[in-house]
Structure 1
């Protein structure tokens, strides 16, 4: 090819290249090896405020060394980079005098034999993106300020369940810092990966429904399971597509502690009774409370064993320490041990953290073992060691745990019979039976009934705002003659039932439960049923059924 043909072809290629540059929405200019500007498209003219005829043929560093190049030769940097494009974020002044954020790409132009023949520089106006990023950062900062000033915990997750934000109150409640929990799966907090656990957050995300005021548990960094009240909702983008979820939660542990503190502040004045057996208990109760001896409380269900245990604790030197109750009959054998003595991480499937037991929680205070007669023999040996040595091994643990607790046990069974039947360890019985208190059934202390009835009536006047202040004679006769197989607890329930139904000042027979209304008297330990009362009740029920049929035209 002749030199003339080469010049012609080069001229054609240059024209095509210039036409291509003019139709680009990005700014492009080129320089040769002498760093003279050889092309300068319309977009770069608009971005820089310079005209093509003003810059073509001039050295690039003479045109915008201090602005576009920021005092640094991009050409030299690109050549040093062995032909790799370089990217720079810069700020320039446009033709209107405003400032623009520019992303600048610089790449050398190589000939067919690999020699540098010039350089191409591409300018992309990123002002809109920068403004958007600034706005997003501002909105995020404002949202963070709002969330961090809420008095409830808040965290968000993506569709995969991984935490994306975590406010300050969530840090305070859980003990986790946001930098260590963001990116983790929310199951680390909610424990919903454990067998049998339901995941309300996942349910809300999948269904799109908001779940409100649910009582749940939250796993803290130190291994505690906090009671919380939580709300769950799905998060959607502008298109309405679900992009994740949000959980807000309130720590209920303090509220529960306050409720327990209020309910547990029972004193000697809360035990009511003029009966001789009760008076004997009242006489020795201060001495029992002041000692450190273990206490065994016996009595039928509903006689007030729980109340007596709380009074003993509140009158003791341990009153400012925890009072922890364990119902030995409420849990299956395989769970009772871990509930009482705790477990270590890895003790069984799902034990992903250490969990203290009730004995650790009661350290320094008192532990109330209700229904002790139902405790399995396998656990009785472990309890005996706690009584003797004040130490035990948590489930799966190898390190002894020492505790200082006073044990108050209660049962509605006769422990001596359990010992004879080999269902209760004799040595454990003697350890517990240091101080023994026996509460009689209510039918054996009938002289206390008027006092108890009056006390419960006053209680519901105060706590429930009941209007009733006295009881009609026929209703009182029924109450005094009833046998109360459920003891004091049943009596209290009957009075509460009557207070709910009674809208006036006087509780009448009709306000009592139907099964109690049939009682007329007591003779020789037998409950006497009055046929006329039963017939009247049945007649009233028939009338009500007929009225319903008529109302619905049956």
Structure 2
């Protein structure tokens, strides 16, 4: 079989050139791809036949001849004789004579039209790069996402096309090439050709040559713009002022807040520590006619009685030893605004009398003052204590209790609105990423499961503290179990041990009481935790003599 017959039997296009890039041989597959016959091609410069945008600047053959080494799998588009564009993969090597002198080069070209059609049918953007991060292939979805055409992208560094912060710090495809490990669903922002920011999800893998050595990488990119729009709509749907909740009880509070804010009625906020009572106070102030005035906050439990009185009502010069000048109190500074007394249950009885006078007469008297001052303020108070019980015990004045309790809002603890935990986590990640310059995008499913099961005695404040610590310590984009405090995990593990395997044996009465108490008498929940049906649970209750069920 002749050399020519051998060349024509090869499925890929093959041609050779001399040192001046003049075509010297040309097989049948090359004829079919270009539309030029062998007779038309031989003796002509190769750039006249293949007509690509890389012929002048980054010709694979010229590169192989210059560096005296092979160039493997460079993707380009050629224009055939009739002007039709065809995607091809190019590999080039040098030709040497018997003495090792370079006499020209050989190039193989593989038609990628079928492969390119497959790639263009993929909804996600797909592109490949060589080991220098030069783009070799670029599908239609990548064109639409970036605004750059295939021909504009091919041959350029990927960072020139995608223009992301990740290009210089944490490039996924570079990481995949260097480590040999895939990178999956990492979220970034890119800047498209029109300078619009776009959120994307990236996955990347290394590409290996026939020897198993890295020769580049492939990256898929998914546009997250629509998902972000949906997230923002969801966020807006469940957001009220700076409060967020999808919980029914919280939504009912949101529904009445505007009406409450429009009035001058004193508002009493009741809820456990960490539930966000101050945020509710701010929301009421911001919605009220007094929104342009100050919001003054005093924590009644933060100061001793003598300092607290001066802090609230002010001091006149000479009122006591050390009072060398007039000092306005918070009431005076709050003129025209909203006065928020947090933890009012800690207010001493003596000061409760003075506060009652302010509420009834709208006036107060600073320490050492001869005449009272008018108090143009709207009061909001809050506590985690049971004030009704304190009234019965004589530690809180009954008349003051009724004065501050004109409108009462009971804020549910986080354990009663667990559906809000994912929303709060998302907000916390955004906040702390901004504060600490991190790019933590999510928490792992295992961490979410633990957080959803936790009772959060510290409520939202405890959750935010956990996320803040994890963001500070996180080196990647996801918070795993290893970033949760050990003490917190010990409590979570102890709680996980409480669910029992299905058993016909009646459990210890203390264990049974603990489970029933935790589920507040909910038979279905208690039965599920114990791994039995409701009938078996009821039989156990009767057997053990538990009555409060």
TM-score by length of 2: 0.46
Larger radius of gyration: 1
